[in-house]
Chain A
Amino acid sequence: MEFTIVSLLNGVVYGLLLFMVSAGLTLIFGMMGILNMAHASFYMIGAYTGFSVSAHAPFYVGLLVAPLVAGGIGLFMERYLLRSIHDYGHGHQLVFTFGFAFVVEQIVKLIFGDFTVSYHAPPELNFTAFSIFGTQFPFYRVLIALVSCTIFVLVYLLLAKTRTGIVVRAAERLPVMTSALGHDVGLVFSGVFTAGAGIAGLAGAIGGAYYPTSPSMALDFGVIVFVVVVVGGLGSVAGSLWASLLIGVLTSFVIGLDISVSSVAEMLGFTPPDANGVDFNVSMLAGAVPFILMLVVLLVRPMGLMGRQ
């Protein structure tokens, strides 16, 4: 019981952070069909911006600056880089963003060094929110979850209830028709790309203070963010929320599981063979969970959990 609840809580928080990073990509991928490999780079840019700002100013200033910086770079990328190779098709855009992510990683390594920087939440946020089974649950994780939920609600309301949301959804479904009705589709795309990058930057500034901030964070997250988008379904914000939670909770449970080949063999009544201390434990698969999930979804149900056909 204790294991279940603690794993569940950890998984939900991690999943909500994943959602914050991938929310923008869901829209970008769904609208423009661009598989933006560099999306997690905005998460990293946000984290490093937060880190740089926190050296000179209060932590909270970083939370404001990070989305602006990430959004600004996103705007530049969409407006001046992606658009100029737009005519060569999606394959080129995919590979180009791949190169962009690579360059961002190298620049970060050059400026900040190839190691984990010490970026932490301010001490006044370091208190226990509640205790459960003697395990103290830090308030900061609750904060991550709250910010993520707020963003989900805001994005959902914006898309579902406002006039802007209607235009955005229309531009996603039928861009030509929308532009024929007098809406600036290019502006909508830039706006969505910028907002998506900005949200990822905010996630970086918040999440980077709890999870490690290092040059490899974009790569680690990059593929997982895709898993979220693919599993959740093209362009479905709610789908990506469910997918994030699913991945977060699954990963967190598998890490905690202590089932190995030899223990299963013992349970079934076999004497475990002496494997020279090399035994395959299920928890080794924790990092692989997202990829297994993505493979299964891509091969069985490529439109994702809540995507359109």
Chain B
Amino acid sequence: MTLHIRILIGLLFVILLLSVPFALGSAWQGIMTKMLIAALFATAYNLLLGQAGLLSFGHAAFYGIGAISTMHAMIGVERGMFYIPLPLLPLVGASAGLVLALIAGLFATKRSGAYFALVTLAMAELIHVIAPMWDSVFGGEAGLTSMRMPSLGIGFNSTGEVYFLVLVWSAIGVAFLWFLSQTAFGQLVLALKGNEQRLKFLGFNTYENKVLVFAISGMVAGLAGSLLSISTESASYTLFSPAVSTQVVFYSFIGGSAFFFGPAIAAAVLIALPYQLSNYTYAWPLYQGMLFMVVMLTAPHGIGGLFSQIASVRSRDIGVRSFRRLLLGVAAIGVLAVFIEMAKSVGQAELLEFITGNGLWLVPAALLTIAVFVLCRHSSLVRNLMAIGVAFPSEGNSTSDKRATTKKQAVEP
């Protein structure tokens, strides 16, 4: 993409973000606020995963601490104990996230790989377990609530005003991370993912840099949490739950962690979809989890990675094949979703009779079987079946060059 096109897309995007809330009313303003917060959180997380190559399972800790600390500040302002203008409150959450992430990072970054993931998971779980018991800090099971106070001549009592506050801070957060990735430090972070050993030989202190990047990621995650608590006027210990960390891991891997905006786009889309479907869907988290699994099976570098594969001449064929398998997987989820929703709305007994009576069950069963077969093409059973021409016509060595470039594990039978 040339620079001009990029600037044009960027401008269009900004105009969209600024104008859409006026056109769509307050319900959508609320949803878009949530989309922005999730996108900021995902981008902060991806600084760690996509750029530094550190897989954290405990980012809920920083998100949560941002929300809780902001809530305390809001309560303080409400009671007149001190005065911080509302638009500056996110700084409280960001600093809380920074401090906690700095402390956590000092320990966590001593380990790498799976052990790093476990340390972060244990830290977040530690807070999640203690928080509901510690009323004075986390507000116990009920959590903390407060009211937005008018400040600087703005009432902050409509969703539209909150939306613009969140928009400005999200833009600042994302822009900060973007420019950070363009600096020399950003290149150093990328090198941490690429070859840490070599960086050490070149004389860099990789430990200090990892702590720093961990702290920055935690800071922006805290900012996102802070924006959430401002928009919902509440915060509780559930923000620390592993489900929150799971969400952000899903966003990053579905969007493609190698791309700066991939996780943010995935987060925004995955937040918006259930609202769009909320009148119909019953088991959205299930579909989201299955989508995640399908993406991991068919396009391990995320949807962003898939698009870049398709865009490059060298790997277009692989990309297109992966894309076809992805679509098939998504279609299978769709069929399954339709049946689950029907079962829930019609009642299981009637649906069962309807389906079995007409032989309709063959349709989802066949689709699911095909999908599973195509998704698991690497497996020996499918390979054998393909060899005797039962299953799909062979697609050649579609993944062979991908395999050659990644580390080949010796345990392949």
Contacts and interface: CB of A to CB of B under 8 A. Distances in A.
Interface of A: 32-33, 35, 79-81, 83-92, 94-96, 98-100, 102-103, 106-107, 109-110, 175-176, 179, 184-187, 189, 219, 223, 226-227, 230, 275-276, 278, 280, 284-285, 287-288, 291-292, 294-295, 298-299, 302
| Closest A-B pairs by Cβ, 5 of them | A186-B413, A106-B286, A287-B129, A84-B378, A284-B133
A163 B365 CA distance: 42
Given A102-B246, A103-B286, A35 B410 contact: no
A36 to B, nearest CB: 11
Contacts of A79: 379-381
Contact of B379 (A83, A92, A94): A83
B349 to A, nearest CB: 15
Nearest to B135: A278
A280 B134 contact: yes
B379 A86 contact: no
A80, A179, A227, A299 — which one has the most chain B CB atoms within 10 A of its CB? Answer: A80
A279 to B, nearest CB: 10
Nearest to B110: A299
B297 interface: yes
B411 A185 contact: yes
B107 A295 contact: yes
Given A79-B379, A84-B379, A186-B411, 9 more contacts: A32-B411, A84-B376, A86-B412, A94-B114, A102-B246, A106-B289, A175-B410, A185-B411, A230-B115
Interface residues of B, number: 58
9 contacts: A84-B379, A87-B409, A88-B406, A102-B292, A223-B122, A226-B121, A285-B130, A288-B130, A302-B111
A215 B83 CA distance: 45
B411 A99 contact: no
Contacts of A295: 107, 119, 122-123, 126
A159 B206 CA distance: 41
Interface string B232-254: 00000000001000100110010
Contacts of A106: 283, 285-286, 289
A280 B164 CA distance: 41
B413 A184 contact: yes
B118 interface: yes
A187 B413 contact: yes
Interface of B: 55, 57, 107, 110-111, 113-115, 117-119, 121-123, 125-126, 129-130, 133-136, 242, 246, 249-250, 253, 282-283, 285-286, 289-290, 292-293, 296-297, 300, 340, 372, 375-381, 399, 402-403, 406-413
Contact of A35 (B114, B293, B372): B114
A167 to B, nearest CB: 14
A81 B296 CA distance: 10
A240 to B, nearest CB: 15
B178 to A, nearest CB: 24
Contacts of A230: 115, 118
B110 to A, nearest CB: 6
A288 B377 CA distance: 43
Contacts of B408: 87
A227 B340 CA distance: 36
Given A92-B296, A284-B133, A219 B378 contact: no
Contacts of A95: 55, 249, 253, 296
A89 B406 contact: yes
Nearest to A32: B411
B250 to A, nearest CB: 7
A302 B115 contact: yes
Contacts of A299: 107, 110-111, 119
Contacts of B119: 295, 298-299
Contact of A99 (B250, B300, B380, B413): B250
Contacts of B136: 275-276, 278
A8 B252 CA distance: 44
A85 B285 CA distance: 23
Contact of A83 (B111, B378, B399): B378
B48 to A, nearest CB: 13
Nearest to B340: A110
A89, A102, A175, A184 — which one has the most chain B CB atoms within 10 A of its CB? Answer: A102
A89 B125 contact: no
Given A80-B372, A89-B406, A288 B118 contact: no
